Amino acid sequence: MKQELRVTLQYILLGSLWIFISDELVYLFMSKNNIETMTYYQNLKGCFYILITSVFLYFMLKNHNSSIRKKIWVVIFILNYPKTNYIFLL
């Protein structure tokens, strides 16, 4: 399975689990009669989810871009020094 599809399916699974489990926890600890408080905590957990997934996305993209930059550097080096022994780049 391609990495893009695997990461996407993992995100769907973990995101769905977060929604269902955190909803149950909010219902467990909150009074069902106080809709305003429940809405507040639902919004709070939604913002927390966005914050955490944004941090993970940032580091994944940073790692991916770093890998691409390294490969571009190797290609530029090879093009600029075509007669060099490249064993050290491996």
CB 29 within 8 A of CB 37: no
Give the pTM.
Answer: 0.67
Check if the beta carbon of residue 37 is closer than 8 Å to that of residue 30.
yes
Angle between helices 35-80 and 3-29 (to 10 degrees): 160
Note the pLDDT tens digit of each residue in 9-26. 989 999 999 999 998 888
Calpha distance 42→23 (Å, rounded): 7
Judge residue 49's burial from the number of C-beta atoms within 10 Å of its C-beta, 0-12 exposed, 13-18 middle, 19 or more buried: middle
H or E element in which residue 56 lies = helix 35-80
Q: What pLDDT does 7 receive? A: 85
Query: What type of residue sits at position 78?
Result: I
How does pLDDT run across 43-68, given as a tens digit for each residue?
999 999 999 999 988 998 898 889 89
Q: How many CB atoms lie within 10 A of CB 12?
A: 10
